[in-house]
Amino acid sequence: MPDKHFSSQFEGEIHDVSARLTELGHLVDRQICQVIDALVHFDAKGAQQVLAAEAEVNALEVEIDHEITSIIAKRQPVALDLRLLMAMSKASSNLERIGNEIDRIAQKVIWLIHSCAPGTLPSQELSAAAKLSTDLLRQAMTAFARLDLAEAMAVIKQQKLGHREVDEFIGKLVKPMMENLRVTSYCVELISMAKSLELITDHARHIAELVVYVVEGADVRHLPVEKIESVVK
């Protein structure tokens, strides 16, 4: 009976951390959508709201880290349980870093608006890269919640699509810069935003890689897709 009680408590604590991690994922997801909407509509108020939510993201990440540290110290888990807790901590850190990239985009949106950037810039076309980043993040969080290797591998394989979307967007900025040097500073800011979205895609892959770490016990960071597939198989 004491063992069952201990196991039940431990499972409850894991569930609580998982719920908080999901909450953080949803918060970051909403921020991506909101900051891109602010860019498309040149909405300074919307961008300011994104910046205001930064404190909530940071506080939630700290809370999750504290809970995980407490569980490890109290329960002294091993094997898969320990890997899961460590992966949760790393996933939380990746989400917080995504929040940082979103804040950078919000700051640049505000700068563009205050600098009276011309509406002819292809800023709306950044939506495609943003949608892919958001989709991959959602898919990565689903894979993590379910410890679904197939779903995780799908995210890992699609990471390069995010890079391609960003490269295509940057290519569209070359012509405006060549035709009018006065828009160069605005285009540079848009390129920086695109690179932030690329990093968000990278963080989504990192979260997906954590699924492989938990299930297979293998650290697949920095490995090419082919080698990760061999680990999963």
Indicate which CATH number applies to the domain containing 220: 1.20.58.220
Q: Could you tell me the two tokens for 108?
A: 């640049």
Binning pLDDT at 50, 70 and 90, where does residue 1 land? very low
Q: What is the pLDDT of residues 20-33, one digit of tens each?
A: 999 999 999 999 99
Write down the pLDDT at residue 2. Answer: 45
73: buried, middle or exposed (CB in 10 Å: 19+, 13-18, 0-12)? exposed
Binning pLDDT at 50, 70 and 90, where does residue 131 land? very high
Residues 6+ apart with CB under 8 A from 163: 198, 201
Q: Compute CA 28 distance to the chain's CA centroid, rounded to the nearest angstrom.
A: 7
Write down the pLDDT at residue 182. Answer: 85
pLDDT at 65 over 50: yes
Write down the pLDDT at residue 5. Answer: 47
Write down the pLDDT at residue 176. Answer: 83
d(CA 186, CA 207): 32
| Single-letter code of the amino acid located at 217 | G
Long-range contacts at 54-59 (CB < 8 A, ≥ 24 apart): 54/99, 54/103, 56/27, 57/24, 57/27, 57/28, 57/31, 57/95, 57/96, 57/99, 58/96, 58/99
State percent of the chain over pLDDT 70.
97
Residues 6+ apart with CB under 8 A from 95: 21, 24, 25, 28, 57, 61, 203, 207
| Single-letter code of the amino acid located at 179 | E
1: buried, middle or exposed (CB in 10 Å: 19+, 13-18, 0-12)? exposed
Comparing 19-33, 52-66, 149-163, 170-184, which segment has the lowest mean pLDDT?
170-184
pLDDT at 117 over 60: yes
Write down the pLDDT at residue 4. Answer: 53
Q: Phi, psi (5° rounding) for residue 224?
A: -65, 160
d(CA 176, CA 179): 5
Task: Give the pTM.
Answer: 0.93
Report the mean per-residue pLDDT for the chain: 93
pLDDT at 119 over 80: no
Closest to 108 (Cα-Cα) out of 96, 121, 95, 91: 121
Domain of 88?
Answer: 2-232
Q: What is the pLDDT of residues 157-168, one digit of tens each?
A: 999 999 999 999
Write down the pLDDT at residue 6. Answer: 54
SS3 string of 99-143? HHHHHHHHHHHHHHHHCCCCCCCCHHHHHHHHHHHHHHHHHHHHH
Write down the pLDDT at residue 116. Answer: 84
In the chain, the number of structural domains is 1
Comparing 11-20, 37-46, 116-125, 206-215, which segment has the lowest mean pLDDT?
116-125
